[in-house]
Amino acid sequence: MAVLHALEARDGAGELTADLRSLRSAAGGNGAAAPEHPGADRRRVFVGVLVGTLIVAAVVPILARAVGNRAPGQPITGDTVGGGPLSFFEQRVAQHPNDLAARLDLAQRYIEAGDARSAVPQYLAVLNLDPRNPEAQANLGFVLYQAGRAADGLRVVEQALASDPNYPEALYFQGVILLRGLNRPADAAVAFRAYLDMAPFGSHRNEVQTLLKQTQG
């Protein structure tokens, strides 16, 4: 609760706080007994990690830069990023709030624009709809790592790999966090080799090959 209050005290943090509360509520219910189901414990652990670690949104610049007092629907860095006008992706989510692909696309555009803080609620919304979505889990974990929470980021990335052990992006994130965030080169090498096995022509291929050499040095 202290984390939530800290977030509420900052401008623009209300939406993130509401999303976190919504996700916690979905995991814990309203106090009445609810039937358990496979994966419930894992989801509660995941939600707990997020609530405990997303205080970085209030104190780490990577989760706050480029947002300011942006009005809803106003582009962050001009009219276009990556695949087209940012406003198009925001409008798409507004019109189809339960469309996972729309939310993931919007989150990716925020990341490309350097606005990780705005991407986080989109990933949380995806996980509220699909608690085992590996793309949302993996990207949330990497945002935490970039915000200086390597151990917490690794735990969230590993949730993605629990959902999909062969997801290349999660394997890449896992390797980077292990090598650069936690100084565990031997474990990082395992993740990098797994990435190359799963995506021999993937977008991170050249970087992973370079990083793999570093693990052996």
Q: What one-character-per-residue DSSP string does 16-36 give?
A: HHHHHHHHHHHHHTTSS----
Structural domain count, the chain: 2
Domain stops at, among 149, 181, 207: 149
Do residues 71 and 28 both lie within one domain?
yes
Do residues 97 and 169 both lie within one domain?
no
Do residues 31 and 92 both lie within one domain?
yes
Reported as type and span, the H/E element at residue 212 is helix 205-215
Do residues 145 and 169 both lie within one domain?
no
The predicted structure's pLDDT at residue 193: 97
Do residues 62 and 132 both lie within one domain?
yes
Can you tell me the distance from the alpha carbon of 94 to that of 13, in angstroms, rounded to the nearest whole number?
Answer: 19
Expressed as residue numbers, the domain containing 209 is 165-217
Do residues 140 and 179 both lie within one domain?
no
Can you tell me the distance from the alpha carbon of 98 to that of 126, in angstroms, rounded to the nearest whole number?
Answer: 8
**203 φ/ψ angles, rounded to the nearest 5 degrees:** -65, -20
Domain membership of residue 154 (yes or no) is: no
Q: Amino acid identity of 196?
A: L
Residue pair 207/180 in contact (Cβ under 8 Å)? The answer is no
Tell me the three state secondary structure of residue 72: coil
Domain membership of residue 68 (yes or no) is: yes
Do residues 175 and 131 both lie within one domain?
no
The predicted structure's pLDDT at residue 18: 53
Residue pair 79/85 in contact (Cβ under 8 Å)? The answer is yes
Domain membership of residue 156 (yes or no) is: no
Domain membership of residue 155 (yes or no) is: no
Rounded to a whole number of angstroms, the CA Rg of the chain reads 18
pLDDT tens digits in sequence order for the chain, 217 residues long: 333 343 344 334 444 445 545 544 544 444 444 454 555 555 554 444 454 444 333 333 333 333 333 333 333 333 444 456 899 999 999 999 999 999 999 999 999 999 999 999 999 999 999 999 999 999 999 999 999 999 999 999 999 999 999 999 999 999 999 999 999 999 999 999 999 999 999 999 999 999 999 998 7
The predicted structure's pLDDT at residue 199: 96
The predicted structure's pLDDT at residue 38: 52
Indicate the burial class of 14 (C-beta count within 10 angstroms; 0-12, 13-18, 19 or more): exposed
Can you tell me the distance from the alpha carbon of 188 to that of 116, in angstroms, rounded to the nearest whole number?
Answer: 24
Do residues 7 and 113 both lie within one domain?
yes
Q: For the domain that residue 14 is a member of, what is the CATH number?
A: 1.25.40.10
Do residues 112 and 186 both lie within one domain?
no
Q: How far is CA 54 from each of CA 9, 32, 67, 86, 198, rounded to the nearest angstrom?
A: 14, 27, 16, 24, 30
Do residues 181 and 123 both lie within one domain?
no
Domain membership of residue 158 (yes or no) is: no
Domain membership of residue 58 (yes or no) is: yes
Three state DSSP letters for 41-67: HHHHHHHHHHHHHCCHHHHCHHHCCCC
Do residues 106 and 28 both lie within one domain?
yes
The predicted structure's pLDDT at residue 25: 52
Can you tell me the distance from the alpha carbon of 114 to that of 162, in angstroms, rounded to the nearest whole number?
Answer: 28
Do residues 179 and 137 both lie within one domain?
no
Can you tell me which residue has the tokens 């699909």? 130
Domain membership of residue 120 (yes or no) is: yes
Instruction: With CA atoms as reference, report the closest residue to 155 among 171, 141, 139, 170.
Output: 141
**Bridge partners, 9 (sequence order):** none
The predicted structure's pLDDT at residue 85: 80
The predicted structure's pLDDT at residue 7: 33
